């Protein structure tokens, strides 16, 4: 069951005349393989190989039939694996949804719950005593990724709606500006100054001197410096949130592809198209 739904099962069925000794009833056969002329093909399993064996145990004649069965995986690929793969692709699209839509957290939660449902369905298809299948590990991994996606989606929303009057840490401003290439764009370098600084000429004092021309620092200059620092490179909390969305989208999209390739490629390599 580890390779479900591409697993191969080996079954043995033994028959003996119960209550009769080997001297009274002896089973004999001239064929090595099972006669499958009247065999009706099964929709879920295909018989790859069959053999029969005669033996004697406890003074009783025994005939054993050995069957090698291969599961037909098309039904499970269409109804189980394809939806899970598509859900994994939709998982990272959570960060593409606009924050203003208000559907981001709901979308991530729905994907998480869908993975949980598929994991339950998959568990019900396998015996409890059998080892976990690779598919079960894959769905569990995608369920974990979906839960992390939901938490990070909430975090990015909180960053985007943060108080715009709150100063952004300088190191964060430079990181965002570097990632978004704002440091290379001249129009972003003094955006705060152009947006918030007023260029009205300061009234002359009684002695006829202009304080700004004389090199004196005014309250307006301090405010302008704060605005330049706060909106350096045009980076606001909303820009920080959108940048995080792009980073996490690429991160989770590539992570989903890596996880899918790690678990599913070995499974699909065992696909037998002759019995699919």
Q: Which tens digits make up the pLDDT trace of 163-212?
A: 777 888 888 887 888 777 766 655 555 554 444 444 334 443 444 444 44
Q: Give the pLDDT of residue 256.
A: 92
Order the strands of the 8-15 sheet from edge to edge: 8-15, 60-71, 45-57
Q: Give the pLDDT of residue 33.
A: 84
Q: Give the pLDDT of residue 104.
A: 87
- The span from the CA of 177 to the CA of 168, in Å, is 12
**Inter-residue contact 125 to 4 (CB < 8 Å):** yes
- The span from the CA of 115 to the CA of 256, in Å, is 14
**Inter-residue contact 62 to 27 (CB < 8 Å):** yes
**Inter-residue contact 195 to 223 (CB < 8 Å):** no
- The span from the CA of 221 to the CA of 199, in Å, is 11
In three-state form (DSSP H/G/I as H, E/B as E, the rest C), the secondary structure along the chain is: CCCCCCCEEEEEEEECCCCCCCCCCCCCCCCCCCCCCCCCCCCCEEEEEEEEEEEEECCEEEEEEEEEEEECCHHHHHHHHHHHHHHHHHHHHHHCCCHHHCCHHHHHHHHHHHHHHHHHHHHHHCCCCCCCCHHHHHHHHHHHHHHHHHHHHHHHHHHHCCCCCCCCCHHHHHHHHHHCCHHHCHHHHCHHHHHHCCCCCCCCCCCCCCCCCCCCCCHHHHHHHHHHHHCHHHCCHHHHHHHHHHHHHHHHHHHHHHHHHHHHHHHHCCCCCCCC
Please state, as a whole number, how many other Cβ atoms lie within 10 Å of the Cβ of residue 225: 14
What are 61's two structure tokens? 């004649």
Q: What is the mean pLDDT of residues 246-265?
A: 92
What are 8's two structure tokens? 């191969």
* Mean of per-residue pLDDT scores for the chain: 80
Q: Give the pLDDT of residue 258.
A: 93
Helix axes 170-179, 237-268, angle to 10 degrees: 60
> 45-57 and 60-71 as β-strands: parallel, antiparallel, unpaired?
antiparallel
This prediction has a pTM of 0.72
**Residue 116 in this model has a pLDDT that exceeds 60:** yes
Task: Tell me the pLDDT band of 231, cut-offs 50, 70 and 90.
Answer: low
Q: What is the mean pLDDT of residues 74-102?
A: 87
Q: Give the pLDDT of residue 188.
A: 56
Q: Give the pLDDT of residue 191.
A: 54
Task: Tell me the pLDDT band of 30, cut-offs 50, 70 and 90.
Answer: confident
Task: Tell me the pLDDT band of 220, cut-offs 50, 70 and 90.
Answer: very low
Residue of higher predicted confidence among 32 and 214: 32
């Amino acid at each position: 069951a580890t390779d479900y739904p591409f697993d191969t099962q080996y079954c043995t069925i033994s028959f003996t005349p119960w209550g009769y000794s080997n001297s009274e009833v002896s089973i004999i056969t001239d064929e090595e393989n099972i006669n499958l002329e009247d065999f009706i093909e099964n929709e879920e399993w295909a018989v790859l190989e069959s053999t029969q064996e005669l033996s004697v145990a406890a003074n009783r004649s025994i005939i054993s039939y050995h069957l090698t069965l291969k599961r037909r995986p098309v039904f499970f690929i269409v109804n189980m694996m394809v939806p899970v793969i598509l859900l994994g692709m939709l998982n990272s699209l959570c960060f593409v949804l606009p924050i203003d839509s208000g559907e981001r957290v709901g979308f991530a939660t729905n994907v998480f719950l869908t993975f949980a449902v598929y994991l339950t369905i998959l568990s019900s298809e396998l015996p409890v005593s059998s080892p976990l299948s690779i598919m079960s590990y894959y769905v569990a991994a995608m369920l974990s990724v979906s839960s992390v996606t939901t938490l990070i989606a909430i975090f990015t929303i909180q960053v985007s709606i943060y108080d715009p009057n709150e100063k952004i840490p300088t190191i964060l401003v430079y990181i965002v500006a570097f990632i978004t290439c704002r440091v290379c764009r001249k129009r972003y370098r003094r955006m705060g100054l152009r947006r918030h600084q007023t260029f009205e000429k300061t009234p002359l004092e009684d002695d006829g001197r202009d304080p700004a021309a004389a090199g004196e620092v005014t309250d307006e200059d301090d405010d302008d410096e704060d605005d330049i620092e706060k909106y350096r490179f045009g980076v606001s909390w909303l820009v920080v949130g959108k940048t995080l969305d792009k980073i996490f989208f690429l991160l989770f999209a590539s992570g989903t592809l890596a996880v899918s390739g790690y678990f599913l490629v070995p499974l699909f390599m065992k696909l037998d198209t002759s019995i699919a």
